[in-house]
Amino acid sequence: MSADSKLVCVQDFEDYARSILPKNALDYYQSGSGEEYGLKLNRDAFRWLRIRPRILRDVSQRDLSVTVLGSKVGMPIGVAPTAMQRMAHADGECANARAAGAEGAIFTLSTLSTSSIEEVAAAAPDTVKWFQLYIYKDRKVTMDLVQRAEKAGFKAIVLTVDAPVFGIRLADLRNKFVLPSHLRLANFDGHLSTNVNDTTSGSSINDYVANLFDQSVTWEDVKWLKRSTNLPIVLKGILTEEDAKIAADLGVQGIQVSNHGARQIDGTLAPMEALPAVARAVGGRCEVFLDGGVRQGGDVFKALAGGARAVFAGRPLLWGLAAAGEAGARQVLRILRRELDHTLALAGCTKISDIRPCMIGYGSPLQKL
Protein backbone atom coordinates (compact mmCIF):
# COMPACT_ATOMS: atom_id res chain seq x y z
CA MET A 1 0.00 0.00 0.00
CA SER A 2 1.30 3.48 -0.71
CA ALA A 3 0.27 6.04 1.87
CA ASP A 4 -1.20 8.41 -0.72
CA SER A 5 -3.51 5.76 -2.12
CA LYS A 6 -7.25 5.55 -1.78
CA LEU A 7 -7.30 5.75 2.02
CA VAL A 8 -8.84 9.17 2.56
CA CYS A 9 -10.25 9.03 6.08
CA VAL A 10 -9.44 7.28 9.36
CA GLN A 11 -12.17 4.70 8.74
CA ASP A 12 -10.47 3.73 5.46
CA PHE A 13 -7.22 3.13 7.35
CA GLU A 14 -9.06 1.06 9.96
CA ASP A 15 -10.75 -1.08 7.29
CA TYR A 16 -7.44 -1.62 5.52
CA ALA A 17 -5.58 -2.49 8.73
CA ARG A 18 -8.29 -5.00 9.61
CA SER A 19 -7.65 -6.76 6.32
CA ILE A 20 -3.90 -7.20 6.89
CA LEU A 21 -3.13 -7.50 10.62
CA PRO A 22 -2.75 -10.94 12.23
CA LYS A 23 -5.71 -11.82 14.45
CA ASN A 24 -3.79 -11.76 17.75
CA ALA A 25 -2.62 -8.18 17.13
CA LEU A 26 -5.79 -6.88 15.50
CA ASP A 27 -7.99 -8.13 18.34
CA TYR A 28 -5.65 -6.67 20.94
CA TYR A 29 -5.65 -3.28 19.22
CA GLN A 30 -9.33 -3.01 18.42
CA SER A 31 -10.88 -4.48 21.55
CA GLY A 32 -12.86 -2.70 24.20
CA SER A 33 -13.83 -4.46 27.40
CA GLY A 34 -16.92 -6.58 27.98
CA GLU A 35 -19.57 -6.41 25.29
CA GLU A 36 -17.88 -3.25 23.93
CA TYR A 37 -20.87 -1.00 24.55
CA GLY A 38 -18.44 1.66 25.79
CA LEU A 39 -16.55 1.54 22.52
CA LYS A 40 -19.71 2.53 20.69
CA LEU A 41 -20.55 5.23 23.26
CA ASN A 42 -17.15 6.84 22.76
CA ARG A 43 -18.06 7.47 19.12
CA ASP A 44 -21.73 8.23 19.73
CA ALA A 45 -20.86 10.95 22.25
CA PHE A 46 -19.31 12.91 19.38
CA ARG A 47 -22.19 12.15 17.04
CA TRP A 48 -24.79 13.40 19.56
CA LEU A 49 -23.10 16.78 19.72
CA ARG A 50 -23.74 19.32 16.99
CA ILE A 51 -21.53 22.15 15.80
CA ARG A 52 -23.09 25.66 15.72
CA PRO A 53 -21.14 27.29 12.88
CA ARG A 54 -20.79 31.07 12.49
CA ILE A 55 -20.84 32.50 8.98
CA LEU A 56 -19.54 35.41 6.95
CA ARG A 57 -16.28 35.82 8.78
CA ASP A 58 -13.01 36.20 6.90
CA VAL A 59 -11.41 32.75 7.21
CA SER A 60 -8.83 33.10 4.45
CA GLN A 61 -5.85 32.85 6.86
CA ARG A 62 -5.95 30.01 9.40
CA ASP A 63 -3.56 28.84 12.10
CA LEU A 64 -3.94 25.53 13.97
CA SER A 65 -0.93 25.91 16.25
CA VAL A 66 -1.28 25.80 20.05
CA THR A 67 0.94 25.81 23.11
CA VAL A 68 0.55 22.67 25.22
CA LEU A 69 2.28 22.45 28.60
CA GLY A 70 4.71 25.09 27.41
CA SER A 71 5.56 23.46 24.05
CA LYS A 72 4.39 25.08 20.83
CA VAL A 73 2.99 22.46 18.44
CA GLY A 74 1.51 22.66 14.97
CA MET A 75 -1.91 21.37 15.89
CA PRO A 76 -4.00 20.44 18.97
CA ILE A 77 -3.93 16.75 18.04
CA GLY A 78 -1.51 14.29 19.64
CA VAL A 79 -0.77 10.58 19.69
CA ALA A 80 -2.11 8.69 22.73
CA PRO A 81 0.09 6.00 24.29
CA THR A 82 -0.61 2.54 22.95
CA ALA A 83 1.44 -0.47 23.94
CA MET A 84 3.37 -2.84 21.68
CA GLN A 85 3.33 -0.94 18.38
CA ARG A 86 5.85 -3.21 16.66
CA MET A 87 3.01 -5.71 16.22
CA ALA A 88 1.57 -3.18 13.74
CA HIS A 89 4.82 -2.40 11.90
CA ALA A 90 8.47 -3.37 12.33
CA ASP A 91 9.42 0.27 13.07
CA GLY A 92 6.68 0.60 15.71
CA GLU A 93 6.95 3.49 18.14
CA CYS A 94 10.00 5.01 16.38
CA ALA A 95 8.01 5.45 13.17
CA ASN A 96 4.98 6.78 15.03
CA ALA A 97 7.08 9.32 16.96
CA ARG A 98 8.77 10.51 13.75
CA ALA A 99 5.38 10.85 12.06
CA ALA A 100 4.04 12.92 14.96
CA GLY A 101 6.99 15.29 14.82
CA ALA A 102 6.71 15.71 11.05
CA GLU A 103 3.04 16.64 11.36
CA GLY A 104 3.39 18.94 14.38
CA ALA A 105 1.76 16.57 16.87
CA ILE A 106 2.78 15.50 20.37
CA PHE A 107 3.79 11.84 20.71
CA THR A 108 3.14 9.89 23.92
CA LEU A 109 5.24 6.78 24.48
CA SER A 110 3.73 3.91 26.50
CA THR A 111 5.63 2.32 29.38
CA LEU A 112 4.82 -0.96 27.61
CA SER A 113 6.41 -0.07 24.29
CA THR A 114 8.31 -2.38 21.99
CA SER A 115 10.87 0.39 21.32
CA SER A 116 12.72 1.80 24.31
CA ILE A 117 12.66 5.34 25.65
CA GLU A 118 16.20 5.87 24.31
CA GLU A 119 15.45 4.37 20.88
CA VAL A 120 12.45 6.66 20.43
CA ALA A 121 14.38 9.71 21.61
CA ALA A 122 17.14 8.95 19.09
CA ALA A 123 14.68 8.25 16.25
CA ALA A 124 12.61 11.40 16.80
CA PRO A 125 14.79 14.02 18.49
CA ASP A 126 12.68 16.98 17.31
CA THR A 127 9.27 15.56 18.23
CA VAL A 128 7.60 16.87 21.40
CA LYS A 129 7.48 13.60 23.39
CA TRP A 130 5.62 12.72 26.58
CA PHE A 131 6.17 9.53 28.57
CA GLN A 132 3.20 7.50 29.86
CA LEU A 133 3.88 5.88 33.22
CA TYR A 134 2.40 2.86 34.97
CA ILE A 135 3.31 2.49 38.64
CA TYR A 136 5.02 -0.82 39.37
CA LYS A 137 4.93 -2.41 42.82
CA ASP A 138 8.69 -1.93 42.72
CA ARG A 139 9.03 1.84 43.01
CA LYS A 140 12.67 1.62 41.92
CA VAL A 141 11.52 0.25 38.55
CA THR A 142 8.99 3.09 38.33
CA MET A 143 11.45 5.83 39.23
CA ASP A 144 14.04 4.47 36.83
CA LEU A 145 11.54 4.95 33.97
CA VAL A 146 10.86 8.54 35.02
CA GLN A 147 14.55 9.37 35.20
CA ARG A 148 15.27 7.79 31.83
CA ALA A 149 12.42 9.81 30.27
CA GLU A 150 13.77 13.02 31.84
CA LYS A 151 17.27 12.27 30.58
CA ALA A 152 16.03 11.46 27.08
CA GLY A 153 14.31 14.84 26.75
CA PHE A 154 10.64 13.86 27.22
CA LYS A 155 8.57 16.90 28.15
CA ALA A 156 5.92 15.45 30.50
CA ILE A 157 4.98 12.38 32.53
CA VAL A 158 1.50 11.07 31.78
CA LEU A 159 0.49 8.97 34.76
CA THR A 160 -2.26 6.51 33.88
CA VAL A 161 -4.69 6.40 36.80
CA ASP A 162 -7.49 4.21 35.47
CA ALA A 163 -5.74 0.83 35.48
CA PRO A 164 -5.20 -0.70 38.95
CA VAL A 165 -6.30 -3.88 37.19
CA PHE A 166 -6.92 -4.35 33.50
CA GLY A 167 -10.30 -4.55 31.82
CA ILE A 168 -11.69 -7.86 30.69
CA ARG A 169 -11.10 -7.99 26.95
CA LEU A 170 -12.81 -11.08 25.71
CA ALA A 171 -10.95 -11.51 22.44
CA ASP A 172 -7.57 -11.44 24.22
CA LEU A 173 -8.81 -14.13 26.59
CA ARG A 174 -10.08 -16.27 23.71
CA ASN A 175 -6.85 -15.78 21.75
CA LYS A 176 -4.70 -16.33 24.87
CA PHE A 177 -2.93 -13.14 23.82
CA VAL A 178 0.87 -13.22 23.78
CA LEU A 179 3.40 -10.79 22.37
CA PRO A 180 5.05 -12.48 19.34
CA SER A 181 8.33 -14.08 20.46
CA HIS A 182 10.57 -11.81 18.33
CA LEU A 183 9.30 -8.77 20.30
CA ARG A 184 9.71 -7.70 23.91
CA LEU A 185 8.77 -4.85 26.22
CA ALA A 186 11.79 -2.77 25.35
CA ASN A 187 12.00 -0.56 28.44
CA PHE A 188 12.90 -3.54 30.60
CA ASP A 189 15.24 -6.47 30.98
CA GLY A 190 14.53 -9.98 32.17
CA HIS A 191 11.07 -11.08 33.27
CA LEU A 192 9.68 -7.52 33.12
CA SER A 193 10.32 -7.51 29.38
CA THR A 194 9.26 -11.02 28.43
CA ASN A 195 6.41 -11.91 30.77
CA VAL A 196 3.99 -11.27 27.93
CA ASN A 197 5.57 -13.78 25.55
CA ASP A 198 3.73 -16.72 27.06
CA THR A 199 0.69 -17.29 29.21
CA THR A 200 -0.44 -19.99 31.54
CA SER A 201 -3.97 -18.69 31.94
CA GLY A 202 -5.98 -16.40 29.65
CA SER A 203 -4.44 -13.22 28.26
CA SER A 204 -0.81 -12.61 29.23
CA ILE A 205 -1.69 -8.92 29.67
CA ASN A 206 -3.91 -9.52 32.68
CA ASP A 207 -1.24 -11.81 34.21
CA TYR A 208 1.48 -9.18 33.72
CA VAL A 209 -0.56 -6.36 35.20
CA ALA A 210 -1.85 -8.39 38.14
CA ASN A 211 1.66 -9.54 39.04
CA LEU A 212 3.62 -6.32 38.55
CA PHE A 213 1.41 -3.21 38.72
CA ASP A 214 0.53 -1.70 42.08
CA GLN A 215 -3.19 -1.89 42.85
CA SER A 216 -2.77 0.15 46.04
CA VAL A 217 -1.91 3.41 44.24
CA THR A 218 -3.66 6.51 45.71
CA TRP A 219 -3.40 10.30 45.57
CA GLU A 220 -0.41 9.95 47.92
CA ASP A 221 1.48 8.36 45.01
CA VAL A 222 0.64 11.34 42.82
CA LYS A 223 2.18 13.56 45.50
CA TRP A 224 5.22 11.23 45.56
CA LEU A 225 5.60 11.50 41.79
CA LYS A 226 5.28 15.29 41.93
CA ARG A 227 8.07 15.45 44.48
CA SER A 228 10.22 13.09 42.39
CA THR A 229 10.27 14.88 39.04
CA ASN A 230 10.40 18.41 37.73
CA LEU A 231 8.53 17.43 34.58
CA PRO A 232 4.87 18.46 34.31
CA ILE A 233 2.47 15.67 35.32
CA VAL A 234 -0.69 14.77 33.41
CA LEU A 235 -3.19 12.40 35.07
CA LYS A 236 -4.71 10.22 32.35
CA GLY A 237 -8.03 8.53 32.99
CA ILE A 238 -10.12 11.07 34.92
CA LEU A 239 -13.85 11.14 34.14
CA THR A 240 -15.47 12.99 37.06
CA GLU A 241 -15.51 16.56 38.36
CA GLU A 242 -14.75 15.19 41.84
CA ASP A 243 -11.44 13.65 40.81
CA ALA A 244 -10.60 16.56 38.54
CA LYS A 245 -10.89 18.95 41.49
CA ILE A 246 -8.61 16.81 43.66
CA ALA A 247 -6.07 16.64 40.85
CA ALA A 248 -6.13 20.41 40.30
CA ASP A 249 -5.89 21.02 44.07
CA LEU A 250 -2.76 18.85 44.13
CA GLY A 251 -1.24 21.05 41.45
CA VAL A 252 -0.87 18.62 38.56
CA GLN A 253 -0.30 20.42 35.28
CA GLY A 254 -2.71 18.37 33.17
CA ILE A 255 -5.74 16.11 33.21
CA GLN A 256 -6.46 13.74 30.34
CA VAL A 257 -10.17 12.94 30.26
CA SER A 258 -10.13 9.32 29.10
CA ASN A 259 -11.72 5.93 29.62
CA HIS A 260 -8.67 4.15 28.20
CA GLY A 261 -10.34 3.66 24.83
CA ALA A 262 -13.27 1.85 26.57
CA ARG A 263 -10.89 -0.96 27.56
CA GLN A 264 -11.41 -0.80 31.34
CA ILE A 265 -15.01 -0.58 32.62
CA ASP A 266 -17.51 -1.22 29.83
CA GLY A 267 -20.05 1.61 29.95
CA THR A 268 -18.40 4.54 31.72
CA LEU A 269 -19.25 8.04 30.66
CA ALA A 270 -17.70 8.61 27.27
CA PRO A 271 -14.81 11.09 27.52
CA MET A 272 -16.69 13.58 25.35
CA GLU A 273 -19.67 13.36 27.71
CA ALA A 274 -17.46 13.88 30.76
CA LEU A 275 -15.29 16.67 29.35
CA PRO A 276 -17.37 19.87 29.78
CA ALA A 277 -18.06 19.26 33.48
CA VAL A 278 -14.42 18.33 34.14
CA ALA A 279 -13.21 21.46 32.36
CA ARG A 280 -15.60 23.64 34.37
CA ALA A 281 -14.53 21.99 37.64
CA VAL A 282 -10.87 22.64 36.90
CA GLY A 283 -11.59 26.26 35.96
CA GLY A 284 -8.30 26.82 34.14
CA ARG A 285 -6.08 25.66 37.03
CA CYS A 286 -4.50 23.04 34.77
CA GLU A 287 -4.67 22.06 31.11
CA VAL A 288 -7.38 19.60 30.12
CA PHE A 289 -6.97 17.02 27.35
CA LEU A 290 -9.23 14.32 25.93
CA ASP A 291 -8.77 10.96 24.29
CA GLY A 292 -11.23 8.31 23.19
CA GLY A 293 -13.17 7.98 19.96
CA VAL A 294 -11.54 10.85 18.05
CA ARG A 295 -11.80 9.85 14.38
CA GLN A 296 -12.52 13.08 12.46
CA GLY A 297 -11.50 16.72 12.52
CA GLY A 298 -15.04 17.60 13.56
CA ASP A 299 -14.56 15.50 16.72
CA VAL A 300 -11.46 17.53 17.54
CA PHE A 301 -13.42 20.75 17.10
CA LYS A 302 -16.16 19.51 19.44
CA ALA A 303 -13.66 18.49 22.12
CA LEU A 304 -11.88 21.85 21.94
CA ALA A 305 -15.23 23.63 22.25
CA GLY A 306 -15.98 21.38 25.23
CA GLY A 307 -12.90 22.62 27.07
CA ALA A 308 -9.96 20.50 25.85
CA ARG A 309 -6.68 22.23 25.02
CA ALA A 310 -5.67 19.29 22.83
CA VAL A 311 -6.96 15.82 21.97
CA PHE A 312 -5.15 12.53 21.50
CA ALA A 313 -5.89 9.60 19.20
CA GLY A 314 -4.82 6.02 19.90
CA ARG A 315 -6.09 3.35 17.51
CA PRO A 316 -6.07 5.57 14.37
CA LEU A 317 -2.27 5.73 14.54
CA LEU A 318 -2.05 1.94 14.91
CA TRP A 319 -4.12 1.62 11.74
CA GLY A 320 -1.81 4.10 9.98
CA LEU A 321 1.29 2.22 11.15
CA ALA A 322 -0.14 -1.10 10.02
CA ALA A 323 -0.98 0.29 6.58
CA ALA A 324 2.37 1.93 5.78
CA GLY A 325 4.59 2.49 8.82
CA GLU A 326 5.72 6.09 9.29
CA ALA A 327 4.10 7.23 6.04
CA GLY A 328 0.77 5.72 7.10
CA ALA A 329 0.89 7.30 10.56
CA ARG A 330 1.74 10.65 8.95
CA GLN A 331 -1.16 10.33 6.56
CA VAL A 332 -3.60 9.66 9.40
CA LEU A 333 -2.41 12.78 11.23
CA ARG A 334 -2.54 14.79 8.01
CA ILE A 335 -6.12 13.70 7.42
CA LEU A 336 -7.17 14.75 10.93
CA ARG A 337 -5.37 18.04 10.50
CA ARG A 338 -7.00 18.75 7.14
CA GLU A 339 -10.45 17.90 8.51
CA LEU A 340 -9.94 20.14 11.53
CA ASP A 341 -8.76 22.97 9.29
CA HIS A 342 -11.87 22.60 7.12
CA THR A 343 -14.14 22.52 10.15
CA LEU A 344 -12.53 25.69 11.46
CA ALA A 345 -13.10 27.48 8.16
CA LEU A 346 -16.68 26.27 7.82
CA ALA A 347 -17.50 27.25 11.41
CA GLY A 348 -16.10 30.77 11.00
CA CYS A 349 -12.85 30.35 12.97
CA THR A 350 -9.34 31.33 11.95
CA LYS A 351 -7.47 30.08 15.01
CA ILE A 352 -7.92 27.53 17.76
CA SER A 353 -8.78 30.16 20.39
CA ASP A 354 -11.79 31.21 18.23
CA ILE A 355 -13.46 27.89 19.13
CA ARG A 356 -15.89 28.69 21.97
CA PRO A 357 -18.16 26.52 24.16
CA CYS A 358 -21.23 28.12 22.56
CA MET A 359 -20.18 26.57 19.23
CA ILE A 360 -21.47 23.12 20.25
CA GLY A 361 -24.84 21.97 21.50
CA TYR A 362 -27.02 18.90 21.58
CA GLY A 363 -29.53 18.23 18.85
CA SER A 364 -32.05 16.90 21.36
CA PRO A 365 -33.48 19.42 23.87
CA LEU A 366 -33.39 16.65 26.50
CA GLN A 367 -29.60 16.66 26.65
CA LYS A 368 -27.61 19.42 28.31
CA LEU A 369 -23.89 20.05 28.25
Ligand X SMILES: CCCCCCC(=O)C(=O)O
Q: Which of 236, 309, 330, 337 binds ligand FMN (CB under 6 A)?
A: 236
The three-class DSSP label of residue 213 is: strand
Q: Which does 116 bind (CB under 5 to 8 A by kind): ligand X, ligand FMN, none?
A: none
Nearer residue to ligand FMN within complex by CB, 209 or 349: 209
**340 contributes a contact to ligand FMN by CB under 6 A:** no
Please name the residues in contact with 173: beta carbons below 8 A apart, sequence gap of 6 or more. 202, 203, 206
Range 115-122, long-range pairs (CB < 8 A, 24+ positions): 115/85, 115/86, 115/186, 116/186, 116/187, 117/145, 117/148, 117/149, 117/152, 117/154, 117/187, 118/148, 118/152, 119/93, 119/94, 119/186, 120/93, 120/94, 120/152, 121/152, 121/153, 121/154
**314 contributes a contact to ligand FMN by CB under 6 A:** yes
Q: Which does 208 bind (CB under 5 to 8 A by kind): ligand X, ligand FMN, none?
A: ligand X
The conformation of residue 134, written as its DSSP 8-state character, comes to: -
- Of residues 5-34, which lie at the interface with ligand X (CB under 6 A)? none
**286 contributes a contact to ligand FMN by CB under 6 A:** no
**25 contributes a contact to ligand FMN by CB under 6 A:** no
Does the annotation list 292 as a binding residue?
Answer: yes
**205 contributes a contact to ligand X by CB under 6 A:** yes
Does the annotation list 57 as a binding residue?
Answer: no
Nearer residue to ligand FMN within complex by CB, 109 or 349: 109
CB of 365 to ligand X, least distance (A): 37
Catalytic residue among 89, 182, 260, 342: 260
Nearer residue to ligand X within complex by CB, 214 or 341: 214
**177 contributes a contact to ligand FMN by CB under 6 A:** no
Nearer residue to ligand X within complex by CB, 21 or 205: 205
Helix residue ranges, H only, 164-285: 170-175, 191-194, 204-212, 219-228, 241-250, 271-282
Q: Which of 13, 107, 208, 301 binds ligand X (CB under 6 A)?
A: 208
Nearer residue to ligand X within complex by CB, 105 or 133: 133
Q: Active-site residue 260, yes or no?
A: yes
CA distance 260 to 239: 11
DSSP codes of every residue in 305-367: HTT-SEEEESHHHHHHHHHHHHHHHHHHHHHHHHHHHHHHHHTT-SBGGG--GGGEEESSTT-
Q: Which of 86, 226, 236, 260 binds ligand X (CB under 6 A)?
A: 260
Active site positions, annotated: 260
Residues flagged as binding site for glyoxylate: 28, 132, 134, 169, 260, 263
